[in-house]
């Protein structure tokens, strides 16, 4: 049996479909970034939640987030995104905020005392919750 004209096109059609598939799939790095980045809306909700998380009070118990609000037990986090970038020469804003949650005594804000902020968030919060809180705090400019 001899091949019909249109049958020669078949391998090219296959190749075309494979290439189309490769273009349609999102690049893997972009996907990973989307998974890694916290969700600021979920972070805001968690920050302001009145109910305790795993037996510890949430952030809004001690922190206001607006500039006109009085400092509660801790400093207002209004403008924290910009301050966090300058707190430590070898930490990005994101790294500083992560350390602030997990090891609050690593850096003590001037005028405040060590040991007042809850020290157990590293255990009480899931990595996702910490990412969400960081994403939210990075919106406080
Ligand atoms: C019991 C009160 C209390 C709670 C609850 C609390 N904090 Fe704090 N936080 C403090 C105090 C006091 C300080 C200042 C002393 C220090 O630097 O540790 C502080 C400091 C910080 C700082 C550093 C601010 C700066 O200007 O560098 C960040 C960021 C922060 N807290 C985030 C959080 C987040 C997020 C939560 C919730 C997961 C939280 N805090 C819960 C009391 C609290």
Domain holding 82, by residue range, is 38-137
CATH of the domain at 94: 1.10.760.10
Give Rg (Cα) of the chain.
Answer: 24
As a whole number of angstroms, the distance between CA 38 and CA 101 comes to: 14
45 within domain boundaries: yes
Max Cα separation, the chain? 90
Query: Higher confidence at residue 61 or residue 70?
Result: 61
101 within domain boundaries: yes
How far is CA 14 from its chain centroid?
A: 41
Residues 6+ apart with CB under 8 A from 88: 95, 96, 107
Count structural domains, the chain: 1
User: How high does pLDDT run on average in the chain?
Assistant: 86
> Is the pTM value of this prediction over 0.75?
yes
CA of 30 relative to ligand 1 center, distance in Å: 32
117 within domain boundaries: yes
CA of 5 relative to ligand 1 center, distance in Å: 73
Question: Which residue, 17, 133, 12, is CA-closest to 65?
Answer: 133
Residue nearest to atom 34 of ligand 1 (CA): 59
Residue 117 CB coordination number (10 Å):
19
Best residue for ligand 1 mutational test, from 52, 53, 63, 119 (most atoms within 8 Å of Cβ): 63
pLDDT band at 34 (very low <50, low <70, confident <90, very high): very low
């Amino acid at each position: 049996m001899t091949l019909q004209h249109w049958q020669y096109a078949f391998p090219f059609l296959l190749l075309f479909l494979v290439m189309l598939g490769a273009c349609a799939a999102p690049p893997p790095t972009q996907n990973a970034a989307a998974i890694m980045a916290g969700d600021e809306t979920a972070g805001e909700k968690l920050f302001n939640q009145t109910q305790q998380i795993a037996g510890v009070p949430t952030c809004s118990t001690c922190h206001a987030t607006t500039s006109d609000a009085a400092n509660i037990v801790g400093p207002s986090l209004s403008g924290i995104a910009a301050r966090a970038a300058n707190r430590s020469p070898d930490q990005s804003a994101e790294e500083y905020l992560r350390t602030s949650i997990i090891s609050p005594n690593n850096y003590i804000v001037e005028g405040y005392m060590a040991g007042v902020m809850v020290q157990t968030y590293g255990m009480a919060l899931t990595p996702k919750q910490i990412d969400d809180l960081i994403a939210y705090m990075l919106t406080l400019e």
